[in-house]
């Protein structure tokens, strides 16, 4: 238990320094997020990408800064249990009127676990559960979390126009009246001929959501007991060789559209929020199936997402009894993957050694995962949560998983009674955690097993193969060459999207050299079973993909009908050259048939 007296000036000074460290972090985070509006207005796409990468690094930089200050000024790492107990109590007191208390608590955890021995990682010293409520937090600034509008059927268009104008975008629309007409029609179609109730209103978050080359207005239409979540994407369009102007490109309605927009396979949004918990609560009302940790991730607050995920994991373990098992699918050469059937995530551990054909190292694999974290994932690469020193009860692991870890990743495994209470723990030194998907090879095999005459199975094969090719083309547009394109390295999400999740061989497209296989010069070369021509370390021969991917006749027929260009070096080279010339591709988080057809 904590002591009742708070009589240590040193403890207060440490707590105050930690709050100051967090406030500096969030001030810089908000400033960079707010600048996204200007970058969007001036179409600074490369600046937007650069800011996206750099903002991800802010948190760890501030944690290091704060830890250094605490050690330099207070020798904080040398203080005893009684001081640190009081530090936490003082810290809680300093968060009473704070606008981001849940983020500040996570910052406290990050700093203390960086400075203290693991034996201190208990309820007395870190925030295992939140201590300060985020309910009913109100903005201190003049701008509220969301604005409410109260239209009638007669003035709906005028109210929608005012709603868009209130965001004060400093670039002209090409034809805002036309765009509002499209949005009004979409809203009326969504509502149908229902009676408008007394509470009929439109609620819109006051921060614009910026990502890639788009800005998004996010809100909901409320009528009686019905709520209709929506998002309006705003894009630039080039008209008659003049400066680009803005258009509202679509009206996305319903939870499914919002889930695609906020997918774990997309880059984080930039949005200026004074009270992030209020944004999360609003967005959760629009997407009740979306875990809160993934919403925090989507808003760029990945450390808070990790905190909430870990709490969810602990809660799930407390209310479940199944064991971790080797994940279904073909085993990888680089990663050892296990999961718990009742929990919708997989855990990936880098092996200690790799077969000769995998010319890589642990640090290189970690660098690839960091690249994906910082890159625009365009809905085609799964986000990952990275953890160190994760402890689990030993009884939750099957013997098969332990045997695999001991054989392939012994440096990443520790089994001991670390707390001295007779309960054995499994500690994973480093792992990645990501959403579980159905491996694409298994998904296709299920359809193959149904037989060629099964109409639904054929449709599943066609849809999957088309989506697979679309996924690769979206990655190409984002300057990513996936490297190993085998079906087993892609997964199918619950909404049928195909997502890539094996990152140890990815490269920037612009770093690759796409070539056509040379014609043999002699009969010996033509008959040779070995590669007789020179191959550089970054050389890629797209025409050689076919034998590895298209063995099934039905798969080959669909692939060649929709994506034959992926087997041509010219396709890849054209995209490489466009990216090298500075072009940033549009990749839409919604289907083409959702677009108004303006741009």
User: What is the set of active-site residues?
Assistant: 383
Q: What Rg value do the Cα atoms of the chain yield, rounded?
A: 26
Residues 6+ apart with CB under 8 A from 214: 233, 234, 235, 249
Strands 513-514 and 539-540: parallel
Residue 228, beta-bridge partner list: 221
Q: Please check whether residue 39 is in contact with residue 51, taking contact to mean a CB–CB distance below 8 angstroms.
A: yes
Q: CA 471: distance to chain centroid?
A: 16
On the 0-12 / 13-18 / 19+ scale of CB atoms within 10 A, 345 is middle
Determine how β-strand 245-248 pairs with β-strand 226-237.
Answer: antiparallel
CA distance 377 to 464: 19
Rounded CA-CA distance 168/303 in Å is 31
Closest of 169, 228, 218 to residue 196, by C-alpha: 228
C-alpha 60/C-alpha 511 separation (Å) is 29
Between the CA of residue 584 and those of 35, 36, 45, 379, what are the distances in Å?
A: 19, 16, 7, 16
Instruction: Measure the CA–CA gap between 580 and 587, rounded to whole angstroms.
Output: 18
Among candidate residues 413, 460, 418, the one with its CA nearest the CA of residue 438 = 460
394 in Cβ contact with 401 (< 8 Å): no
CA distance 252 to 588: 12
b/e sequence 543-566, b meaning 16+ C-beta within 10 Å: eebeeebbebebbeebbeebbeeb
Between CA 180 and CA 160 the distance in angstroms is: 7
């Amino acid at each position: 238990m904590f002591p009742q007296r708070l009589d240590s000036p040193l403890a207060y000074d440490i707590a105050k320094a930690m709050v100051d460290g967090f406030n500096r972090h969030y001030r810089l985070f908000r400033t960079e997020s707010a600048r996204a509006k200007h970058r969007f207005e001036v179409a600074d796409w490369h600046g937007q990408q650069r800011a996206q990468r750099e903002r991800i690094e802010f948190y760890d930089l501030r944690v290091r800064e704060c830890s250094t200050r605490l050690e330099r000024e207070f020798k904080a790492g040398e203080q005893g249990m009684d001081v640190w107990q009081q530090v936490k109590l003082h810290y809680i007191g300093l968060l009473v009127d704070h606008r981001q208390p849940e983020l500040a608590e996570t910052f406290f955890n990050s700093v203390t676990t960086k400075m203290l021995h693991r034996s201190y990682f208990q309820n007395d010293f870190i925030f295992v559960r939140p201590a300060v409520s985020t309910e009913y937090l109100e903005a201190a600034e003049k701008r509220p979390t969301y604005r409410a509008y109260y239209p009638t059927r007669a003035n709906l268009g005028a109210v929608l126009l005012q709603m868009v104008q209130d965001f004060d975008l400093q670039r002209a629309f090409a034809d805002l009246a036309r765009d509002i007409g499209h949005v009004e029609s979409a809203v009326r179609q969504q509502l149908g001929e229902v009676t408008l109730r007394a509470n009929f209103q439109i609620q819109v978050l006051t921060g614009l959501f910026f990502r890639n080359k788009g800005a998004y207005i996010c809100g909901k239409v409320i009528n009686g007991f019905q709520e209709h979540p929506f998002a309006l994407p705003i894009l630039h369009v080039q008209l008659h060789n003049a400066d680009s102007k803005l258009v509202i490109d679509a009206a996305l309605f319903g939870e499914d559209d919002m889930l695609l927009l906020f997918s774990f396979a997309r880059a984080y949004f930039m949005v200026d929020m004074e009270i992030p918990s209020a944004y999360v609560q609003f967005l959760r009302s629009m997407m009740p199936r979306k875990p809160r940790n993934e919403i925090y991730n989507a808003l760029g607050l990945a450390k808070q997402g990790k905190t909430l995920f870990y709490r969810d994991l602990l809660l799930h373990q407390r209310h479940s009894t199944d064991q971790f098992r080797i994940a279904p699918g073909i085993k990888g050469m680089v990663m050892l993957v296990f999961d718990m059937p009742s929990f919708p995530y997989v855990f990936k551990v880098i092996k200690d050694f790799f077969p000769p054909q995998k010319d890589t190292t642990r640090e290189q694999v970690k660098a690839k995962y960091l690249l994906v974290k910082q890159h625009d994932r365009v809905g085609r690469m799964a986000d990952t949560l990275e953890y160190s020193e994760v402890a689990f009860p030993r009884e939750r692991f099957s013997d098969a998983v332990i045997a695999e870890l001991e054989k392939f990743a012994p440096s990443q495994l520790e089994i001991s009674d670390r707390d001295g209470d007779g309960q054995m723990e499994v500690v994973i030194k480093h792992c990645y955690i990501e959403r579980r998907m159905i491996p694409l090879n298994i998904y296709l095999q299920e359809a193959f097993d149904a037989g060629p005459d099964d109409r639904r199975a054929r449709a599943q094969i066609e849809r999957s193969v088309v989506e697979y090719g679309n996924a690769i083309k979206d990655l190409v547009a984002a300057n990513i060459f996936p490297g190993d394109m085998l079906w087993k390295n892609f997964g199918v999400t619950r909404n049928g999207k195909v997502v890539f999740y094996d990152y140890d061989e990815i490269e920037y497209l612009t770093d690759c050299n796409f070539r056509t296989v040379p014609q043999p010069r002699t009969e010996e070369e033509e008959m040779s079973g070995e590669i007789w021509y020179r191959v550089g370390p970054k050389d890629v021969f797209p025409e050689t993909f076919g034998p590895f991917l298209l063995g099934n006749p039905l798969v080959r027929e669909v692939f060649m009908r929709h994506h034959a260009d992926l087997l041509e070096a010219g396709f890849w080279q054209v995209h490489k050259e466009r990216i090298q010339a500075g072009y940033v591709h549009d990749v839409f988080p919604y289907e083409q048939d959702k677009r108004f057809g303006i741009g």
